[in-house]
Amino acid sequence: MGTPFNGEFGTTPGSLSGLRVVEVGTSIAAPFATQTLGDLGAEVIKVERVGTGDDTRAWAPPSWGEESIAFLAYNRNKRSVALDYKTEEGKDVLRKLLASADVLVQNLRPGAFAKAGFTAEVLEEINPGLIVCELSGFGPTGPRAQQPAYDPLLQAFSGIVSITGQDGGEPSRVPVSLLDMGTGMWTVIAVYEALRRRDRTGKGSWVQLSLLQTALTWMNAVLMGAEVGNPPPKRLGSGYRGAVPYGAFPTSDGHIFISCGNDRLYRTFLAAIGAEDLADREGFATNPDRLRNRELVNATIGERTVAFTLDEMVELLEEAGVPHSPVQTADRVVKDEQVKAIRMFTPLPHPRAQDLTVPNLPMTFDGDYPELRLAPPDLGADTADVLSGLGYSADELAALADGDVIGLAD
C-alpha cells in the first residue's frame, strides 16, 4: 500500500514510460485516448496532416489566446509529426514509425487506413507485437458501418437523446463529448488488457471500439428494460425515475439540485425550508405517492424553494444534512473552493497560450497526479526529431519537406 493523501498534491511519472504510442486520428475520441496514455507516461507521437493538422486546431473560437481550446484540451503530452502517409515516401516513413511502436490508435473512417495501404496483414508484417486500436462510430460491421459518425449522432441513434430534456419539450443531447471521451477511456483500458496479453503471448492485438458500443454501455439499464417489454422512459429533465423530489428546483436567483432518496430525507428537507405542511398532504407522504404525482409535487416544492436565494438554500440544506448542490455555471465552477482544494487544474506552460491551465487526469496515486510533461504541440514540431530517431538524415528530411511529404515546424 502506498502513502495516503496528506493534503499536498505532487506529480509522479506514469508506469507507461518507455511505451511508444502512435496516434493517427483527429477530433476527440482517439486524441483523448492517447492523451490519457501520455499522462500515464507513454511517449505519444501524433501523426497529423501536412499543412492543416488535426481538425480541432481549427475549432475556434473558443480560443485561449490564438490557440483552439478544443485542441489544447485533448493533445497534451504528445509530439507532433506532420506526414502525408498517402504518398509512397510517406508510407515508408509511417512503416518505420509503426515498426518502432507498441500501440497504434486510429479513428479514421472505417476502411480508410487499410485503403491507404495499412491493412491488418500489413500491420502484422510491419510489427507482430503492435497493439492496434481502431475506433469507429457505428462499429466495424453492419449496414451503418461506413456512415460518418459524430458524438451527437450516436447520442441520438442509441436513445440517449430520447431520454434527455423536459417531457413534452424538444429532445436534447448531452452537451459534452460523452461518447467520444467515453470511447477514449475504454481504449485506455483495452490497451492495458492488450499489454497483459502481449506479456503472455508476445503478440499484439487488434482492438475495435466504437461510439455506439460506448453509448449502449452507458444505456445498459434502460436497454435491458426495453428487452423485457418496459415502455420507453419519459424525459424527466433533471429528475430521477426512482425518487421525488430529486432534481433542480428554482430559487430567486438560480437553481438548487436536491436529492431526497428516501422519506426521511424528504421530511428533513421540508423542515429545513419551513414546508412541514407538505409532509402528509395527500399524494405527497411517501415516495411511491410522490412518484405517481411527480409533476404536482415538483411544482409545489418549486413554489416554496423560489422564495429563497440560492445561497440561502445552500446554507439551509447544508445545516440540515440534505444532499444538494447549487447548479453552477462554468465560470463559478473554476473558482469554486472545492475544485481548488483538489487542485484539479494545473499550469502547463505554452509558448503562445499565456497562463494556460489544464485539468489533471482525474486520479491521484499516493497523493500525486500523473505528470504533465508536454504542452499541446505545434503542428510538425517534432517531425525532424522523431524521424531523425528513425534514421533519416538532415538531407533526407529536407527532401521530404520539399516534396510536402512531411511538415517541419517553423
Catalytic residues: 180
State the Cα–Cα distance between residues 48 and 45, nearest whole angstrom. Answer: 10
SS3 262: coil
State the Cα–Cα distance between residues 356 and 378, nearest whole angstrom. Answer: 15
State the Cα–Cα distance between residues 287 and 266, nearest whole angstrom. Answer: 9
SS3 13: coil
32: DSSP letter: H
Residue for grid cell 478544443:
70
Q: Which of left, alpha, beta for 12 (phi over 0: left; psi -120 to 50: alpha)?
A: beta
Residue for grid cell 492488450:
194
Query: Which residues are 346's β-sheet partners?
Result: 358
SS3 content of the chain, % helix, strand, coil (to 5): 40, 15, 45
Query: Which residues are 324's β-sheet partners?
Result: 258
SS3 322: coil
List phi, psi (to 5°) of 168: 90, -15
- Which grid coordinates belong to 9? 498534491
What's the CA angle centered on 208, arms 203 and 209, to 5 degrees?
140
List phi, psi (to 5°) of 308: -110, 155
